[in-house]
Structure 1
Amino acid sequence: MVKQQHQLFVTLLALVDAVVVSVACLAAWGVRLAVVEGGKRVGWDEWIRGPLFIFAIPIVLVVMQMFGLYRPRRDRSLWPEQGAIIRMSVTAMAALVVALWAVGNAAVTSGVESPTIEVLGHDLDGGRVQLGTLAVLLPVFLGVHRALFRTVLREIRRRGFNLRHVAIIGVGRLGQITMRTLTRNGWTGINVAYFVSHHGSTHRKECQGKPVLGGLDELDEILSENRVDAVYLALPNAKAAALPGILQQLQRYAVDVRIVPDVHPRFVPQSMVVSELDGMPILSYRECPSAGLGGFSKRLLDIVGSALGLIVFSPLFLVIAVLVRMSSPGPVIFKQRRVSLGGKTFKIYKFRTMHQMRDEQRELLHGVDATEAWTRRGDPRITRIGRWLRRTSLDELPQLLNVLKGQMSLVGPRPERPELIARFREDWRGYMLRQHVKAGMTGWAQVNGLRGDTSLRKRLQYDLFYVRHWSVWFDLRILWLTLFRGFVHRNAH
Structure 2
Amino acid sequence: MPARKFYRRLLDPLIAIGLLYLITVLSGHVFSANHVVLAILTFLISCTVFGWSDPWRDASASNVPMLGKSIALAWMAVVVLLLFFAYVAGLFALFLQRETLIWLAITPPALLLAQIILQKASFGLHGKSMRSVIMVGVNELSVKLAERVDENPDLRMEVSGFFDDRDSSRQPEDRQVPLLGGMADIPSYVRNNNINTIFISQPISAQPRIRKLLNELQDTTASIYFLPDIYVFDLIQARFDSVAGLPVVAICESPFTGINSMVKRGSDIVLALIIQLLLLPVMLGIAIAIKSTSPGPVIFRQRRYGLDGEEIIVYKFRSMTVCEDGAQVVQATRNDQRITRVGAFLRRSSLDELPQFFNVLQGRMSIVGPRPHAVAHNELYRKKIKGYMLRHKVRPGITGWAQVNGFRGETDTLDKMEARIAYDLDYLRRWSLALDLWIIARTVGVVLKRDNAY
Q: Same fold (TM over 0.5)?
A: yes
Secondary structure in 2 matching 1:210:
coil
Matched, 1:176 2:139: yes
Q: Is the 8 A contact 1:393 1:487 kept in 2?
A: no
Secondary structure in 1 matching 2:319:
coil
CA distance in 2, matches of 1:418, 1:76: 49
Other-structure match for 2:442: 481
Where does the alignment leave 5 or more consecutive residues of structure 2 unmatched? 31-55, 61-66, 72-103, 121-128
Summarize deviations over 1:218-262 as a string: whole Å, max 9, x none. 321122344544322112111224434433433433433221112
CA distance in 2, matches of 1:254, 1:232: 14
Other-structure match for 2:408: 451
Matched, 1:472 2:438: no
CA distance in 2, matches of 1:305, 1:474: 15
Question: Size of the alignment, in residue pairs?
Answer: 357
Other-structure match for 1:378: 335
CA distance in 2, matches of 1:409, 1:24: 26
Matched, 1:409 2:373: no
Q: Is the 8 A contact 1:24 1:138 kept in 2?
A: no
Residue 441 of structure 1 deviates from its aligned partner by 0.6
Moved more, 296-305 or 204-213: 204-213
> Letter of the aligned partner of 2:450 in structure 1?
H
Q: 1:440 aligns with which of 373, 397, 400?
A: 397
Matched, 1:348 2:309: no
Q: How does 1:200-239 map to 2 (within 5 A)?
A: 207=171, 208-239=175-206
Q: Per the alignment, do residues 142 and 238 of structure 1 end up closer, same or farther by CA in structure 2, a change over 3 Å counting?
A: farther
CA distance in 2, matches of 1:193, 1:445: 44
Moved more, 217-226 or 246-255: 246-255
> Letter of the aligned partner of 2:185 in structure 1?
E
Residue 381 of structure 1 deviates from its aligned partner by 1.1
CA distance in 2, matches of 1:24, 1:336: 42
Q: Is the 8 A contact 1:205 1:212 kept in 2?
A: no
Query: 1 or 2 for the larger relative contact order (CA 8 Å, sep ≥6)?
Result: 2
Q: Is the 8 A contact 1:24 1:137 kept in 2?
A: no
Matched, 1:322 2:288: yes
Secondary structure in 2 matching 1:354:
coil
Q: Per the alignment, do residues 163 and 428 of structure 1 end up closer, same or farther by CA in structure 2, a change over 3 Å counting?
A: farther
Q: Per the alignment, do residues 378 and 487 of structure 1 end up closer, same or farther by CA in structure 2, a change over 3 Å counting?
A: same
RMSD of Structure 2 on Structure 1 (CA): 4.2
Q: Is the 8 A contact 1:169 1:235 kept in 2?
A: yes
Summarize deviations over 1:431-452 as a string: whole Å, max 9, x none. 2221111101111221223201
Q: Per the alignment, do residues 206 and 329 of structure 1 end up closer, same or farther by CA in structure 2, a change over 3 Å counting?
A: closer
CA distance in 2, matches of 1:331, 1:474: 36
Other-structure match for 2:152: 188
Q: Per the alignment, do residues 353 and 292 of structure 1 end up closer, same or farther by CA in structure 2, a change over 3 Å counting?
A: same
Summarize deviations over 1:272-325 as a string: whole Å, max 9, x none. 1333533x2111222221122221222222222222222222221122112212
Matched, 1:250 2:214: no
Q: How does 1:418-429 map to 2 (within 5 A)?
A: 418-429=375-386
Give the TM-score normalised by the residue count of structure 1.
0.62
Q: 1:389 aligns with which of 346, 360, 364?
A: 346
Q: Per the alignment, do residues 408 and 140 of structure 1 end up closer, same or farther by CA in structure 2, a change over 3 Å counting?
A: farther
Q: Is the 8 A contact 2:135 2:200 kept in 1?
A: yes
Secondary structure in 2 matching 1:336:
strand
Secondary structure in 2 matching 1:267:
coil
Q: In percent, how many aligned pairs have the same letter?
A: 33
Q: Is the 8 A contact 1:376 1:453 kept in 2?
A: yes
Q: Is the 8 A contact 1:289 1:470 kept in 2?
A: yes
CA distance in 2, matches of 1:24, 1:385: 45
Q: How does 1:88-99 map to 2 (within 5 A)?
A: none
Q: Is the 8 A contact 2:238 2:253 kept in 1?
A: no
Q: Is the 8 A contact 2:238 2:249 kept in 1?
A: no
Q: Per the alignment, do residues 32 and 385 of structure 1 end up closer, same or farther by CA in structure 2, a change over 3 Å counting?
A: closer
Other-structure match for 2:33: none
Matched, 1:265 2:232: yes
Residue 426 of structure 1 deviates from its aligned partner by 2.5
CA distance in 2, matches of 1:307, 1:25: 25
Residue 385 of structure 1 deviates from its aligned partner by 1.3
Q: Per the alignment, do residues 242 and 229 of structure 1 end up closer, same or farther by CA in structure 2, a change over 3 Å counting?
A: same
Q: Is the 8 A contact 1:194 1:213 kept in 2?
A: yes
CA distance in 2, matches of 1:151, 1:462: 38
Q: Per the alignment, do residues 31 and 484 of structure 1 end up closer, same or farther by CA in structure 2, a change over 3 Å counting?
A: same
Other-structure match for 1:290: 256
Summarize deviations over 1:144-167 as a string: whole Å, max 9, x none. 546689999xxxxxxxxx986532
Secondary structure in 1 matching 2:161:
strand
Where does the alignment leave 5 or more consecutive residues of structure 1 unmatched? 1-9, 38-72, 83-135, 153-161, 359-369
Q: 1:281 aligns with which of 247, 259, 271?
A: 247
> Letter of the aligned partner of 1:389 in structure 2?
L
Other-structure match for 2:34: none
> Letter of the aligned partner of 1:249 in structure 2?
E
Q: Is the 8 A contact 1:269 1:285 kept in 2?
A: yes
Q: 1:35 aligns with which of 25, 28, 34?
A: 28
> Letter of the aligned partner of 1:168 in structure 2?
M
> Letter of the aligned partner of 1:182 in structure 2?
L
Residue 342 of structure 1 deviates from its aligned partner by 0.9
Q: How does 1:2-41 map to 2 (within 5 A)?
A: 32-35=25-28
Q: Per the alignment, do residues 191 and 491 of structure 1 end up closer, same or farther by CA in structure 2, a change over 3 Å counting?
A: farther
Q: Is the 8 A contact 1:394 1:487 kept in 2?
A: no
CA distance in 1, matches of 2:431, 2:18: 34
CA distance in 2, matches of 1:275, 1:139: 37
Summarize deviations over 1:381-418 as a string: whole Å, max 9, x none. 11111111100000101111111111101111101122
Residue 28 of structure 1 deviates from its aligned partner by 7.3
Other-structure match for 1:47: none
Q: Is the 8 A contact 1:163 1:191 kept in 2?
A: yes
Secondary structure in 2 matching 1:35:
coil
Give the TM-score normalised by the residue count of structure 2.
0.67
Residue 478 of structure 1 deviates from its aligned partner by 1.8
Secondary structure in 2 matching 1:334:
strand
Q: Is the 8 A contact 2:239 2:249 kept in 1?
A: yes
Q: 1:240 aligns with which of 207, 232, 242?
A: 207
Other-structure match for 2:80: none
CA distance in 1, matches of 2:329, 2:20: 62
CA distance in 2, matches of 1:310, 1:30: 32
